[in-house]
Amino acid sequence: MRRIGILGGTFDPIHNAHLEMARAAAAQCELSKVLVIPAGNPPHRTATASFADRFRMVEIACGCGPLFEPSPIEDCVGKSYTVDTVERLRAEYGPDVAWYFIIGADAFDDIESWHRWRDLVPLVTFAIVGRPGAEYRIPNNVCAKRVEGVELPVSASDIRAKLAEGQDNLDLPAGVLNYIRERKLYGVS
């Protein structure tokens, strides 16, 4: 049975910590690939950049190796819910795939507030990546694996603020930073 990871997020913008999380989860969970899926219309926050720009940045970031595969599956009207995306992936890939949902500990701590979270639980194993200072508990009946050794204090909101201030020393893939500059995203002039 193949093991495939799902790394979803707003990716506004995607940064190096996202990629490091995925690499660590892939190594520790023995994943054959990681689908990197920008949220089309995230229910918990509003994206600053358009889906097209965020997806293009994901494509650029995924160019750093064969492990990563960008997926536009959430480019749709309406809210993007993880359970709906996983159900679509399972239908597309068939029954011979074990799915691992890569998630930061801070986001996992809110799992019980997610849309249809109880329906999501039997569909995936959660690969939980620690975040500095983040604590979480694993609810009953949730299959989870702790991903060790990656606690990166990087956030997209901090990166956006630094971009708007004109800072250059950012935790972004070089191609993503070039794309942001070309498109003048996040207040870059």
CA distance linking residue 177 with residue 163, whole number of Å:
9
Our count of domains for the chain comes to 1
**pLDDT of amino acid 46:** 82
- Residue 53 forms part of a structural domain: yes
> What residues does 4 pair with on adjacent strands?
33, 99
**pLDDT of amino acid 78:** 81
- Residue 141 forms part of a structural domain: yes
- Residue 173 forms part of a structural domain: no
Least confident of 3-7, 16-20, 52-56, 152-156: 152-156
Split at pLDDT 50, 70, 90, the class of 94 is very high
- Residue 187 forms part of a structural domain: no
Phi-psi sector, 185: left (phi>0), alpha (psi -120 to 50), beta: beta
- Residue 128 forms part of a structural domain: yes
Phi, psi of 98 (to 5 degrees): -95, 125
- Residue 179 forms part of a structural domain: no
CA distance linking residue 152 with residue 75, whole number of Å:
28
CATH number of the domain encompassing residue 121: 3.40.50.620
- pTM to 2 decimals? 0.93
Average pLDDT value for residue range 63-86: 89
Q: Which of 90, 78, 69, 89 is nearest to 40 (CA)?
A: 78
Radius of gyration (C-alpha) of the chain in whole angstroms: 16
Task: For residue 99, give every residue at least 6 positions away whose Cβ sits within 8 Å of its Cβ, in sequence order, or none.
Answer: 3, 4, 5, 6, 86, 89, 90, 123, 124, 125
- Residue 60 forms part of a structural domain: yes
**pLDDT of amino acid 6:** 98
∠ CA 23-36-41 to the nearest 5 degrees? 140
Tell me which residue range forms the domain holding 135.
2-153
- Residue 177 forms part of a structural domain: no
Let me know: does 9 contact 47? Beta carbons within 8 Å.
Answer: no
